[in-house]
Structure 1
Amino acid sequence: MNSVSTSFTHLYGTHHGWLLGLLRRRLNDRWEAADLAHDTFIRLLSRPLAETDHVRQRSYLATIARGLCIDHWRRRQLERAWLQTLAEGPEALQPSPEQRAIIVETLYEVDAMLARLPKKVSEAFLLAQLHGLPYKQIAVQLGVCERMVKKYMAQALLHCAILEAELDGMLVQ
């Protein structure tokens, strides 16, 4: 065993129980807590911890876990909203469980992409795509000129194209 795997094993053995307890209290679900604790340590494999101080190690783990919790809650919120919308539709148009999982994952990716965009860009995109507003009305609502709305939409659509390519596995990160 090399020193990296030895230190990771030691870190896992030292802090896993503590992290699991922290996540169980935060999530109120032992299975989700176990999943997020596992994901936290998986993140450490790509971003090794240089700290040797016990308190700083836990702080670093808690920071990673907090981010994963936020992602988890955001994903659940999106999933609930979509399932509520879906339930309001006709039963004949209900997707299969596999299609539901794919759609929820895609919604999560689009939400994450929109969160990375500047506020006015994402607002313009949502006003155009979800509400069907013409650029002129979007410009008035955002307090910008119509030309800026076109720039915002181009930026958002570029990010959508990149996201689609990533989802299709065409881009290597």
Structure 2
Amino acid sequence: MPMADCRFEDVFKEHHKELEQFLRRQVNDPDMAADLVQDTFIRFKPLYEKPPGIQKVRAYLFRIARNLVIDHFRREQIRCTDSVPEDILDEIPTEVAGPEVRAASQQRLENIRAAVDQLPPRCRDVFIMSRVQGMTLAEIGLALNISPKTVFSHFTKALQLLKSQLDEGSGL
């Protein structure tokens, strides 16, 4: 079904069951699989509804789901430290940033978010797919129905614009 004729609800109905089966096989936990399906569609919806939209919906959904599975297992590995005795964890030196450092970090993060929001739409989509969602340039090309060379072009432009905007904002 062409994307222009497809409502988000139709996409959900069409792919929900297949995604859930895929995720059940990956995580071997029906409840976690159901949660990951919901997370997949939560991440997918804003991108689907933003023009020009996603051309290969199924591939894009499965890429998001796969990334969520990877994140899930990473979190599980981190949780394994809960089984480490407290006295061993107490021996690990920690550096806690002071309020000034935290405030500066927060401001820098806000500046980055604002700069990303100001990117041209296609550059922003490519940048987010690459840096936030962890997709390769080839995968982004498939999702957006453009060549990897064009994806690279958009990505390079996004990096140049971000650097320029952030350099201006910090007085470098």
Normalised to the residue count of structure 2, the TM-score between the two structures is 0.46
Higher RCO structure (Cα 8 Å, ≥6 apart): 2
Larger Cα-atom Rg: 1
